[in-house]
Amino acid sequence: MKIVVIGGTGLIGSKTVTVLRGSGHEVVAASPKSGVNTVTGEGLKEAMAGAQVVIDVSNAPSFDANAALDFFETSGRNLSAAEAAVGIRHHVTLSIVGTDRVPGQGYYRAKVAQEKLTEVSGIPYTIIRSTQFLEFLGSIADASTDGSIVRLPPGLLQPIAADDVAAFVAEVAVANPRNGIIEIAGPERAEFSQIIARYLKGVADPREVVKASEARYFGGRLEEKSLVPLGEAHLGRLTLDDWFRLSHKKA
C-alpha cells in the first residue's frame, strides 16, 4: 500500500514512517523540505500519485491563533482537493484530546477547524485525538515558568509517548476508515502539576512546581478533565518512568 504522511519528517511523522515502512508499505514522508507544501499545494499531486492513504500529522509553523487557523484551513482545503483528484481511500488526521473543551486556546480552535474540514471533505476518514506527548512536557513547563516557579492550572493530564502515538496512527491508517473520532492517551492519569513535577525531577531540573487556580494552559482555562479522554480511549504502553528509561538508553 502507498501511504503519504504529511508532516512526515516531524516527531510523530518520522516515527510513523518508520513503523509503516517496517511493515512493508511504500511511504512518502511529505514536508516542505521534501518539496511538498500543503499551504501552496506544491508537490501534492506528485506525492499522492498511486497512493491509497494520506496521514496528516503536520503542525502549524506558529502557535499564534490566527496563523494556526490560516495554516490548517488552507492546508486542509488543498489536501482535500488533491485527495479527491486521485481517489484517496482513507484520510487520517491527528488532533488533540479536548481540543473543543479549552476556551481561549487559539491553537485548539484551529484544530477544531481542521477536524471539521476533514469531516466534510467527502474522503473516508478517521480523526485520532491524542493527549499531550511526553516529549512536550518540557515545553509545557517552560511556557508556564515565572522565574524559578512553574505555575500550572488545576486539572488532569494523561500524556502519551510519541512511539505509542506513531504505532496507533500506523495501525489506524491501514485499517478501514472510522468516519469518526477515536482517542488515544497514556496509561497514567494524574494531576497536571504532579506529572510536570515528576518530569522535572527526572531531568534534574530544580524548578518548583506550583498549582495555581489562575494559571492558564497556553492562554486557555482548564477544567478538571479538559485535557483527558471523557470516555473510552486506546491506551499507550509507556509510562513516564518507562519513557525515561528508554530515553536514557538511547542517550
Position 251 in a domain: no
Q: What pLDDT, on a 0 to 100 scale, did the predictor assign at position 247?
A: 82
Residue whose C-alpha cell is 495554516: 71
Distance CA(151)–CA(210), nearest Å, equals: 5
Q: What pLDDT, on a 0 to 100 scale, did the predictor assign at position 248?
A: 67
The answer to whether the Cα torsion of 116, 228, 14, 236 is positive or negative is negative
Q: What pLDDT, on a 0 to 100 scale, did the predictor assign at position 166?
A: 98
Position 124 in a domain: yes
> Are 120 and 84 spatial neighbours (Cβ–Cβ below 8 Å)?
no
Using the 8-state DSSP alphabet, how is residue 15 labeled?
Answer: H
Position 137 in a domain: no
Position 153 in a domain: no
- Taking CA atoms, 66 is separated from 71, 105, 118, 138, 226, in Å, by 9, 11, 19, 25, 22
Hey, what's the cell of 80? 482535500
Q: How confident is the model over 11-26, as pLDDT tens digits?
A: 999 999 999 999 999 9
> Are 128 and 93 spatial neighbours (Cβ–Cβ below 8 Å)?
yes
Position 145 in a domain: no
The domain tally of the chain equals 1
- Taking CA atoms, 2 is separated from 16, 89, 181, 216, in Å, by 14, 11, 23, 42
Position 16 in a domain: yes
Torsions phi, psi for 116 (to 5 deg):
-65, -40
Position 128 in a domain: yes
Torsions phi, psi for 7 (to 5 deg):
85, 30
Q: What pLDDT, on a 0 to 100 scale, did the predictor assign at position 249?
A: 65
Q: What pLDDT, on a 0 to 100 scale, did the predictor assign at position 172?
A: 98
Domain with 26 in it: what CATH number? 3.40.50.720
Position 175 in a domain: yes
Domain that holds residue 113: 2-132+161-185+218-238
Q: What pLDDT, on a 0 to 100 scale, did the predictor assign at position 219?
A: 87
> pTM to 2 decimals?
0.95
* Low-confidence residues of the chain: pLDDT under 70: 248-251
Can you say how many angstroms the Cα of residue 90 is from the centroid of all Cα atoms in its chain? 18
